[in-house]
Amino acid sequence: MPELESIYQDALFSIMLYMSANNNNNNSNKTKFSILAIAIVASAAIAIIMQMTSYATAQQQNSSTIVRVQKTVMSAPAPVTAQGHPTHQVVFALPLRDDGRIWSGTVTFTASKPIEIEVMHRYNPAVAPTAEYGQPPVAVINGTTITYSHMTGIVDTPILSGDSPISSGTFDFTGSALLFHKRSGEPFTVTYTIDAVAKTLTQ
């Protein structure tokens, strides 16, 4: 790191200047010089530790907020099932966030069968909507109430691969989670590439 090299060079330069100026002085001055040299080296060491800590923290933050993945995943039963409906099959491409951040990015995918795509949002209205206004569809996942956007324009028209219809596409998204989904309960496989970042909400 260039900053650390600069700190070392400044400390050594200061010591050399002091040595040159006090080369012929008595023992008392030499003792003072030794104390000063130790103080300078200690200060440089503290500055280096602070720089390294700051650098490590920045690296950790970057690695935890930026996601670039390319995976092939088989679906699994959904954690939530509506009464009277088949258990949906799902792939959570990006997990549900509950830390004041949201996902924002781009995904490109192809699936073995026609599927649906949902972008989830945490549902926590400041004032509960009345019956007159109604509310969007909601579900509870691991104790978190969510609503969701169906990305219908991307998957409404399946693509034929040979004789088999599939889903394939690319789109930008912003939300608390990204989900590949099949309401019929039929299992599927999906390959996807995601480039996304977790951003802190401003409100």
**What is the mean predicted confidence (pLDDT) over 83-101?**
87
Residue 195 has pLDDT above 90, yes or no: yes
Distance between CA 183 and CA 114 in Å, rounded?
Answer: 11
Q: The whole model's pTM is what?
A: 0.65
Buried b (16+ CB within 10 A) or exposed e, 74-96: ebeebeeeeeeeeebbbbbbbeb
Percentage, residues of the chain above pLDDT 70: 65
Q: What is the pLDDT of residues 137-161, one digit of tens each?
A: 998 888 899 999 988 777 766 777 7
Q: What is the pLDDT of residues 17-26, one digit of tens each?
A: 555 555 555 5
Q: What is the pLDDT of residues 34-79, one digit of tens each?
A: 665 565 655 655 655 556 555 444 444 444 589 999 999 999 998 8
Mean pLDDT of the chain, nearest integer:
79
